[in-house]
Amino acid sequence: MAKLYFYYASMNAGKSTTLLQADFNYRERGMRTALFTAALDDRFAAGTISSRIGLSAPATMFRADTDIEALVVTDHGRDPLSCVLVDEAQFLTGPQVDQLARIADGHGVPVLAYGLRTDFRGELFEGSARLLALADALVEIKSVCTCGRKATMNLRVDAHGRAVVEGAQTEIGGDERYIALCRRHHAEALAA
C-alpha cells in the first residue's frame, strides 16, 4: 500500500538533495516519477528543484490553486508513476495535502513531501501542519546548530545579521536570510 511521507527539517539540512537522490534511485531502476516544487520559490531557475550542492531536476510548479491530484491522475493514466516527490511542501495548502493523501490511498502512488516544519517565528506552515496530521510517516532530516546541537528552528536575519521578529510568514531566501539553530539559540536570538 502506498504511503504519504513528510520529510521535514530546518533550512539547509539537505531536503532538496535528499529528494533528488530519491528521484535518482527510482529513475535508475526504470521507474517514472513526478516532481513538484513551489512556484513562489524563485531562488533558482523556475520549475527546477535545486540543491546547494549542485544537483537539480525539472519539476512542475504548484501554486495555491494548482490541482496536484488532477495533474498526477492524468499523468499516471498515460504512463504509470512509481512516485510523486514534492519539494517546498510547507507552501502546499491544506486541500493540496489532502490531494496528496488521495494520490497515495486511492491511486497507489507513494508521495514523498519535503519541507520546513515551522517558519522563522516557530509557527507551523499550513502545508506542514496538514502533513503532520495526515502523513503515514514523519521523517526528520537532521541539521546542526552552531553549538553542535540539533537545529530545529529557522532564524530570519536582516542585512546586518540581526534577528527578525516580525513580518510575513514567507520570505524567500537562503543563507543570507536564514540561519538554522537549536530551539535555545533561536529563542535567545529572538529575545536579543
Write out the catalytic residue numbers: 88
CA–CA distances in Å: residue 189 to residues 123, 151, 152, 154:
16, 14, 14, 11
Q: 169 and 123 in contact (C-beta within 8 Å)?
A: yes
How many whole angstroms separate alpha carbon 71 and alpha carbon 34?
A: 10
DSSP code of residue 151: P
Q: Return the bridge partners of 150, or none.
A: 144
C-alpha cell belonging to residue 68: 496536484
Q: 30 and 79 in contact (C-beta within 8 Å)?
A: no
Among the listed residues 76, 140, 143, the one whose alpha carbon sits nearest the alpha carbon of residue 108 = 76
Q: Which residues contact 69 (CB under 8 A, 6 or more apart)?
A: 99, 100, 102, 103
C-alpha cell belonging to residue 165: 521578529
How many whole angstroms separate alpha carbon 98 and alpha carbon 113?
A: 12
DSSP code of residue 139: E
